[in-house]
Amino acid sequence: MTAMVEVVDEELVRRVQKGEKKAFDLLVLKYQNRIIQLINRYVRDPHEAQDIAQETFIKAYRAMASFRGDSAFYTWIYRIAINTAKNHIAARSRRPTDDEIEMEVAEQFEGENSLRDQETPEGILLSEELGRTIQLALDELPGELRTAITLREMDGLSYDEIAEVMECPVGTVRSRIFRAREAIDKKIKSLTG
């Protein structure tokens, strides 16, 4: 039975290498649950596991031309999934946690009387300047990032709804919103200095 599976996989891989995208869709359908389960053992978050699995399949698709068939397709994509999960964990450990960010923000605002009391002329001026800075940051964002952050923060859409509107995967939406927030935060930090 395993030999038959490998023959079918080899044929699908050959078809993908010849440019047939639907053949890759079949490979994704065949292995996506196993890859998600594998990745979930590393990250223990179903949403992150799905995002990492998606990234795994994107990497595999892009590298398909270099797949020589020295090992079974599943073994090859399994390695890509493991490496992608490990890279994700390493990147996550370099980022501050949400709690650290919240504490940092709380500490910054605790000492800023002008931000607490918005009714002072200084507070009103700072608020207006902050609004202009945010708008400028939004205007400077690439189109996909601006659309994603606007749909999320101003229209209140869920990630799934944004993915549907933008016709892209939820993982891509999350990435775009994250990058947009980062760019806006940099502008705000330059204002608050």
The predicted-structure confidence for 144-162, as pLDDT tens digits, reads as follows 888 788 778 776 778 887 8
Q: Is the pLDDT of residue 32 over 60?
A: yes
Classify the phi-psi angles of 156: left when phi > 0, otherwise alpha if psi is within -120 to 50, otherwise beta: left
Q: Which residues contact 39 (CB under 8 A, 6 or more apart)?
A: 49, 52, 53, 56, 81, 84, 85
**Top CATH class, 2-94:** mainly alpha
- Give CATH for domain 98-192: 1.10.10.10
% the chain with pLDDT above 70: 76
The pLDDT value given to residue 117: 46
For the chain, where are the alpha helices, taking DSSP H only?
2-17, 21-43, 46-63, 73-94, 98-110, 113-116, 121-140, 143-153, 159-166, 170-192
Q: How far is residue 75 CA from its own chain's centroid?
A: 25
Question: Domain extents for the chain?
Answer: 2-94, 98-192
Give the type of residue at 141.
L
**90 is written with which tokens?**
């390493």
Phi, psi angles (nearest 5°) of residue 135: -60, -40
**156 is written with which tokens?**
């209140």
User: What is the average per-residue pLDDT within 158-176?
Assistant: 86
Give the type of residue at 119.
E
- 61-65, 83-87, 119-123, 184-188: the lowest-pLDDT one: 119-123
The pLDDT value given to residue 111: 45
The pLDDT value given to residue 4: 61
Query: In whole angstroms, what is the distance from residue 118 CA to residue 112 CA?
Result: 11
The pLDDT value given to residue 109: 46
For 36-60, the pLDDT digits (tens) are 988 887 787 888 999 999 999 999 9
CA distance readout (Å), 108 to 11, 96, 103, 186, 189: 59, 16, 9, 15, 11
